[in-house]
Amino acid sequence: EGDDLVTALSLLLARLARKDDFSLAYLPSAASEQPDWFTRYFASVVPLPVHVQLQQPYAELRDQMARAIADTETRLSYLNDLPAREPDLRAVGDCAGYPIRVLRAADADELTARRHGGSAALTIVVATSGGAVGFLADQAQLDRAGLNRLLEWFSVLCEAIKADPARPVGKLPLLGASDRKQLETWVPAYGEAQRNALVTDCVHQQFEAQVQRTPSREAALFEGRSLSYAQLNDAANRLA
């Protein structure tokens, strides 16, 4: 169903960005059916709040997202100049400039063909019913290889959700066969069971585990300067 797809997409983005509280630029299904003049006066997309707790089961997250989606669908849109006139709304800003959009429509193929992507790096079109979903990427911002990898992660996540919807969302796998093969070339042979446990995690989780195992081991070498795993982790934490 459409809400399941939006929930899975939101979870994927939360896991990849390592954020548990954010908003997506969202086009309600009724807004996609409005005439062209609609966007001259009303916002073309509105914020859809996403709150993810990695220990919660997927079914709980899905119910939570369904309520947020229903509320956003009911509100539909707001006047274009409202954030500028209301100080409390200025923090929302212009979500039309968000890098990722989620659009809802009765016919995902028709809406995809109309190319509502704007300046977004990625536009995801989800049918209001059934399992249709379309992806539009601005190749100047997201190339085909990056999009294919994203689609693979999304497919793996959806299969994991279907197999075990009660599993904590932070433990659902994302990595496909190609990623697993690549990671197996990076992970030392600590034993089959340990290696299998490692490759179910995201890259940042594997790196943090490696820091705990070998903090003083050389992790990076560039132009004669080297950093240990502990030093590289400290530098990454300062940038985060």
Which of 108-112, 116-120, 176-180, 230-234 reaches the highest mean pLDDT?
A: 230-234
**Residue 89 banded pLDDT, cuts 50, 70, 90:** low
Which of 24-33, 137-146, 191-200 reaches the highest mean pLDDT?
A: 137-146
- Residue 13 φ/ψ, nearest 5 degrees: -65, -40
Q: Would you state the pLDDT for residue 199?
A: 54
End-to-end Cα distance, the chain: 35
**Residue 79 banded pLDDT, cuts 50, 70, 90:** low
The secondary structure of residue 171, as a DSSP letter, is: G
* Mean model confidence pLDDT for the chain: 77
Which residues does residue 220 pair with via DSSP β-bridges, in sequence order? Answer: 227
The answer on pLDDT for 186 being more than 70 is no
Question: 237 to each of 17, 63, 171, 208, 210, how far by Cα in Å?
Answer: 14, 33, 22, 11, 15
Q: Is there a contact between 59 and 166 (Cβ–Cβ < 8 Å)?
A: yes
Q: Would you state the pLDDT for residue 24?
A: 85
pLDDT in tens, 41-52: 777 777 888 999
Question: 12 to each of 17, 156, 162, 201, 219, how far by Cα in Å?
Answer: 9, 10, 15, 13, 28
pLDDT in tens, 144-155: 888 888 889 999
pTM beyond 0.85: the answer is no
How large is the average pLDDT for residues 175-182? 76
Q: Is there a contact between 52 and 169 (Cβ–Cβ < 8 Å)?
A: yes
The answer on pLDDT for 167 being more than 50 is yes
